[in-house]
Structure 1
């Protein structure tokens, strides 16, 4: 992925507004998260806030998000709602095709 888009901050809010989502986890691979955290600390810049990764790919936008699902909500249904919320948000703000939306459940309960 490359060229992370600034509206990803607003995507965090859109995902957290989905019923059944109670937490966002860093969507970047662990090593990227560790490196970014270290760079943020060394340069004394504010921590990177984006939990939803949005990047330009050859075929269009690629999105990755990791969520925690509240007890009592079917994880598959919550994932579909998150997918739909992301697609709706991006269609409102972006003119590019959406190539991929990857929703991962990192925790249930």
Structure 2
């Protein structure tokens, strides 16, 4: 993946607004998260707040998100709602095709 896009702050809000989602985790690969955290600390810049990873691919936008699901909600249904919220948000703000949306459940309960 490449060319991370700036609208992920708003996507974080859109995902957190989905019923059943209570937490966002960084969707970036562990190595990238460690490097970004180190660079943030060394340069004294504020930590990156984005949890939803959006990048441009040849086929269109690629979106990845890791969520925590609350008790009382079916994880599969929450994932579908998160997918739909992301697609709706991007269609409302971008003129790009969406190649894929990956929703990973990192925690239930």
For the aligned pair, the TM-score class normalised by the smaller chain equals over 0.9
Deviation at 1:86, TM superposition (A): 0.1
2:65 equivalent in structure 1: 65
TM-score by length of 1: 0.99
1:8 equivalent in structure 2: 8
Deviation at 1:20, TM superposition (A): 0.1
Alignment partners' CA distance in 1, 2:85 and 2:40: 30
1:102 equivalent in structure 2: 102
Gaps of 5+ in 2: none
1:76 equivalent in structure 2: 76
Q: How many residue pairs align between the two structures?
A: 109
- Is 1:54 aligned to 2:30, yes or no? no
TM-score by length of 2: 0.99
Alignment partners' CA distance in 2, 1:4 and 1:93: 16
2:42 equivalent in structure 1: 42
How well do the aligned residues superpose, as a CA RMSD in angstroms?
Answer: 0.4
2:25 equivalent in structure 1: 25
Gaps of 5+ in 1: none
1:90 equivalent in structure 2: 90
